[in-house]
Structure 1
Amino acid sequence: MQLNHEWLMQQGKDAVLLRAVDTAFQTLLPERIGVAVSGGGDSVALLHLVARWCVQTGHPVVAVTVDHGLRPESRSEADGVARLCRNLDIEHDVLDWDAPEGSGNLPAAARDGRYALMADWAKERGIGGIVLGHTIDDSAENFLIRLGRAAGVDGLAQMESLFTRNGVSWLRPLWQQSRADLRRYLHRQGVAWVEDPSNDDPRYRRTKARQILPDLADLGITADSINHSAHALRQAQKALSHYTRREAETHVCQEGGDLVFAEVITPPIPADIERRMLMGALQWISSAPYPPRKMRSGVLANEMLDQQRKTVFGCLVMRRKGRFRITREYNAVKDLRGPTDAVWDNRWRLVGPHAPDLEVRALGESVSILPDWRKTGLPRPTLMSSPAIWRDETLVAAPLAGYNSDWTAQIVADFASFLLSH
C-alpha cells in the first residue's frame, strides 16, 4: 500500500475508490503508470482518482486518449480530457486510430486498435502498466453478451483485474466498483464527463445488455450476482488450465516450432482438457491473440478420418503414423517480413550477424535448393514456414534447415511457458 492510512481514512466516501487504485498493482508497481481516458464517466473518474493518488504518493502518471475518429465529437472530447489533465497536472497524449478498410466488426476493431496503439505508446514512454476504467457493470454486460454467444467457461469467466496484452501489463482497479458509484464520485468532486451516444445505440449488443440488466433484478440477477458467478467460473477456468498444462507436459512434444502429439491419447484424458490442449497448440503456433472459438473436443480426429493434411487457424495439421503434427501454415506467413533484430511472427528471435540490408522472411520453396534439409528431421512444410534470413532475393541463412551456422532461430516462449501465461 502506497497511501498513508491515516490520510485515506479521512477521505470519507472516496476512501474505498482510492484504496482500490492504491492496491491495484499489489507488489508489481511499475516506475511509471499510464491511465487510459476516453472522456466517459468511468475513465474520467479513474483519472481523477489516480491524480489524487499521484499527489499523495509522488508516483509518475501519464494519461492517454485514443481518438478513434468514429464520431465528429471525438476530437473535442479528446481535447476536453487534455484540459482536465492540465488542471490535474497530469501529462497527457492523444493517439489517432484509423479504422481499417473493410473492418466488419467495427467495435471489436476499434478495441483491438486502441490496445495496440496504447501498448506502443507505453513502450515508447517507458510506462510499465496502463490502468483501465472497467467496472463491475462492464463485467456483467460482458457476461450477458457472451451468454448470448453460447460461450463456455472461459468466455463467461470474470474479466481479469490484471492481464498482459501486446507485451504490456493492464489493470482494472475499479473492476469491483459500480458505474453508479463512479458517477456519484464525480458529482461529489464537481467533475464533468461526456456520454458516448453509441452507449444508447440499439445496434450494439452492449447497449442491449446494459438496458436489459435492470429488468433481470426481479429474478435476483444483478451485476453483483453475475460477478459472483463469473468469479466462480474464473476459478474453474484456472483449475482446468492447471490440468491442461499437466497433460500437455505428458502428451505434447515440441519439435522446433511444431507441436506433436498422439492421434489417440492413452490413457484417455477428459474431453475438455484435450480440447484446451489443442486450442492452446493452435494459438501458440498461429501467434493469434485469442484461441479459436467453439472448437469441439476431438475435432481433428473427427475431421481428419480420411485426410492426411488440414489447414486450420493459420496452422497446418499433418497426420502420420498415429500422430498429429501442428506447424505454421506457409500461406499465413509467406508475405511476413521484418528486420532480423525484431521478433518474427511473434514467436521467433533470430541470433546472428545482423545488418540493415538483411530481413527475415519465410524460407518457402527455397527449401528445395538446400541439399541437407532432410537431415534436420523436420518435414518440408515445417521448414517452408520457418524464418530465414534474406538479402533481397538471396538466401543468407535458414537456421531450422541447417543452412549457415552463423545464424540460429530461437522460440521466444516455448509451449509450456505459453500455457502458463494463458
Structure 2
Amino acid sequence: MPDDPALPPVGLAVSGGGDSLCLAWLARQWRKHLLAFVVDHGLRAESAEEARLTVQRLEAMGVPARLLTLSGLTKGPGIAERARQARYAILAQACREAGCLDLLLGHQADDQVETIRMRQESGSGPEGLAGMGWVTALPDVRLVRPLLGFSRQALRNTLRQAGLVWVDDPSNEDLRATRVRVRHDLQGQDTRQTLWKIGIEAGTARMQRDAARAESLARRVSLRPEGWACLGPELPDAEILSGLIRAVGGLIYPPPPAAVARLLTAGQDATLAGVHLVRWRAEWFLVREVAAMSAPVPAEAGAMWDNRFECWLPSVVSGGGMLIGAAGPGLERTLRGGWPARFCATLPALWRDGQRVAVPHLGWWAEETLKEAQCVFRPPVSVTGSGVYGCPDGNEAAEAGRAPDM
C-alpha cells in the first residue's frame, strides 16, 4: 500500500514494551502514515499510567496513537488467554473503525521459539509446531509479524542506540505463567536453534497442507452462510474437520488433535469445542452447540455476536433496547426452509422485549423496518488458516533454517 495520507494507515499494536516500541520505531523509519493502538488491560494499578506514557512516547516519535481500554477482565484462571482474546477483539474493532488493512505485531524470534516449545510440550500436532504465522489473514485485518527473524536482545539494543526507553511488565517475570517458565528453561542456544528449525520446516509443510485442504474443501464441503458446515456422506480427515470445527465454533485456535481423532473414530453424533457433529438425511453436518452460544448483545451496526456473525442493521434499529442473540426454539416449520429446528435455533436473531422480531437468514421479520437487517457469517479464522508460516524475512541465517542470534 502506498504511503499516502489519503489511504488508510498501517496499524501497530504497541504495549509499550521493548518489542512493540522497537516495532513502532522501525516502522516510523519505513513510512509516515501509521496509527498505533495501545491497549490498557486494567489488570494492574499502574497499567493506565503506563499506557498513557506509551502514547506520549509514540507521539514524540511521530507516530499517532489511540488508547484502547478494556473493562471486565479479572485476574484468575485462564487470565492470559482471556486477556489475549479481549485484546485481539478490541484491536480488530479499532482497525475496522480506522480502516487499517494491516496490523503489525511485535512478536519476535524468542517468542516464536517459546511458542513452539510450549506446543511441543502440550502435544500439539504439526499445525502447532509451525508457530506463529508471519502473516495471518483474519476477516477484517491481516496480522503481520515482521520481527520474527530478530531476537529480543537485538530489538532492545536497537532502542538503546536510538536513546529510547520502554516499559517492563512485571508479569513477564512471573514464574506462575507457562511462557515465563519456558523462557527461563530455554537457556541453550543449540536448543533454540533446533526449535527454530522445527518451526521453519513445520511452517513450510503447513502451507503445503493448507493448499491441499483448500482444494479438498472446495470439492467436498459447503460452509454455509447460516454458520454450519455440510460435510457430505463421509467425514473429512482430521485436519480438515479440525479447521471446520474452529470456524463453526468461532474459535481462534483449533480443538485438541486427540479430541478430533476420538470424534472421527466414534463416527456418531457428538459435541466438541462448542460444536455439534450431526448426522441428518444421510449426511454429516457441523452446527453450533446451543448451550455454548454467547449471550445476546446490543443491536448496533457492526456488532459481532457469538464471535462469528457481524450484524448490519437499518439505522432505525440501532439502540432502542433491541438485542442480537440466538433464534432459539419455537420457529415454525414453514419458516425453516426445510432445515431442522436444532439447526435454526443457532441462527442469529433480533429480539425486543423478550420477543423474537427477525431472523435474517430465514428471510423473516415481524416489522417492515427490519427487512434490511443482515448477519454475515465471519469466523475469526478461515478453515485452512490463510497464513504465511516458516517464511522468514530474507536474511541468510533464517533462509538457512538457523535461529537468529539470541
**TM beyond 0.5:** yes
Which segment is superposed worse, 165-174 or 330-339?
330-339
How far is the alpha carbon of 1:262 from its aligned partner? 4.7
Letter in 2 for 1:291: P
The residue that corresponds to 1:311 in the other structure is 271
Once residues 325 and 356 of structure 2 are traced to their aligned partners in structure 1, the CA distance between those partners, rounded to angstroms, is 10
The residue that corresponds to 1:283 in the other structure is 246
CA change 1:300–1:322 in 2 (3 A) is farther
How much identity, in percent, do the aligned residues show? 27
The residue that corresponds to 1:363 in the other structure is 327
Q: Of 146, 149, 155, which aligns to 1:182?
A: 155
* Contact kept? 1:245, 1:416, Cα under 8 Å: no
Q: Of 85, 88, 92, which aligns to 1:119?
A: 92
Matched position secondary structure for 2:161: helix
How far is the alpha carbon of 1:182 from its aligned partner? 1.4
CA change 1:64–1:410 in 2 (3 A) is closer
CA change 1:128–1:297 in 2 (3 A) is closer
**CA offset digits 1:151-182 (Å, max 9, x no partner):** 11111103212223472222222111111211
The equivalences for 1:134-153 within 5 A come to 134-153=107-126
How far is the alpha carbon of 1:128 from its aligned partner? 3.2
The equivalences for 1:326-341 within 5 A come to 326-333=286-293, 335-339=295-299
Q: Of 24, 28, 41, which aligns to 1:51?
A: 28
**CA offset digits 1:18-46 (Å, max 9, x no partner):** xxxxxxxxxxx963123222222222222
Q: Of 39, 51, 61, which aligns to 1:88?
A: 61
Instruction: Tell me how many residue pairs correspond in the alignment.
Output: 376
The residue that corresponds to 2:11 in the other structure is 34
How far is the alpha carbon of 1:72 from its aligned partner? 3.5
The equivalences for 1:137-286 within 5 A come to 137-165=110-138, 167-215=140-188, 217=189, 220-222=190-192, 224-254=193-223, 257-262=227-232, 264=234, 274-286=237-249
Once residues 27 and 312 of structure 2 are traced to their aligned partners in structure 1, the CA distance between those partners, rounded to angstroms, is 42
* Contact kept? 2:14, 2:37, Cα under 8 Å: yes
* Contact kept? 1:274, 1:298, Cα under 8 Å: no
Matched position secondary structure for 2:263: helix
How far is the alpha carbon of 1:81 from its aligned partner? 2.0
How far is the alpha carbon of 1:323 from its aligned partner? 3.0
Letter in 1 for 2:128: G
- Alignment partner of 1:377 is 2:341: no
* Contact kept? 1:134, 1:174, Cα under 8 Å: yes
Matched position secondary structure for 1:66: strand
Which segment is superposed worse, 95-104 or 408-417?
408-417
CA change 1:74–1:154 in 2 (3 A) is same
Once residues 138 and 222 of structure 2 are traced to their aligned partners in structure 1, the CA distance between those partners, rounded to angstroms, is 26
CA change 1:391–1:195 in 2 (3 A) is closer
* Structure with greater proportional helix content: 1
Which segment is superposed worse, 335-344 or 102-111?
335-344
* Contact kept? 2:240, 2:383, Cα under 8 Å: no
Once residues 39 and 353 of structure 1 are traced to their aligned partners in structure 2, the CA distance between those partners, rounded to angstroms, is 40
Letter in 2 for 1:73: E
Letter in 2 for 1:239: Q
Once residues 291 and 346 of structure 1 are traced to their aligned partners in structure 2, the CA distance between those partners, rounded to angstroms, is 14
* Contact kept? 1:397, 1:407, Cα under 8 Å: no
Letter in 2 for 1:35: L
Q: Of 89, 107, 116, which aligns to 2:80?
A: 107
**CA offset digits 1:125-144 (Å, max 9, x no partner):** 33332222211111111111
Gaps of 5+ in 1: 4-28, 266-272
Matched position secondary structure for 1:221: helix
Matched position secondary structure for 1:285: helix
Once residues 334 and 94 of structure 1 are traced to their aligned partners in structure 2, the CA distance between those partners, rounded to angstroms, is 27
CA change 1:31–1:101 in 2 (3 A) is closer
CA change 1:396–1:87 in 2 (3 A) is closer
With the length of structure 1 as denominator, give the TM-score of the two structures: 0.76
How far is the alpha carbon of 1:187 from its aligned partner? 2.2
Gaps of 5+ in 2: 388-406
Matched position secondary structure for 1:139: helix
CA change 1:251–1:299 in 2 (3 A) is farther
Matched position secondary structure for 2:186: helix
Letter in 1 for 2:135: L
Of structures 1 and 2, the larger Rg is shown by 1
CA change 1:99–1:345 in 2 (3 A) is closer
Once residues 381 and 72 of structure 2 are traced to their aligned partners in structure 1, the CA distance between those partners, rounded to angstroms, is 36
Give the alignment's Cα RMSD to 1 decimal: 3.5
* Contact kept? 1:317, 1:324, Cα under 8 Å: yes
CA change 1:186–1:2 in 2 (3 A) is farther
CA change 1:87–1:187 in 2 (3 A) is same
**CA offset digits 1:264-297 (Å, max 9, x no partner):** 46xxxxxxx7012211222222222222123455
Once residues 246 and 157 of structure 2 are traced to their aligned partners in structure 1, the CA distance between those partners, rounded to angstroms, is 42
Once residues 194 and 28 of structure 2 are traced to their aligned partners in structure 1, the CA distance between those partners, rounded to angstroms, is 31
Matched position secondary structure for 1:69: coil
**CA offset digits 1:224-244 (Å, max 9, x no partner):** 443232011011111222222
Once residues 385 and 320 of structure 1 are traced to their aligned partners in structure 2, the CA distance between those partners, rounded to angstroms, is 16
* Contact kept? 1:383, 1:400, Cα under 8 Å: no
CA change 1:98–1:344 in 2 (3 A) is closer
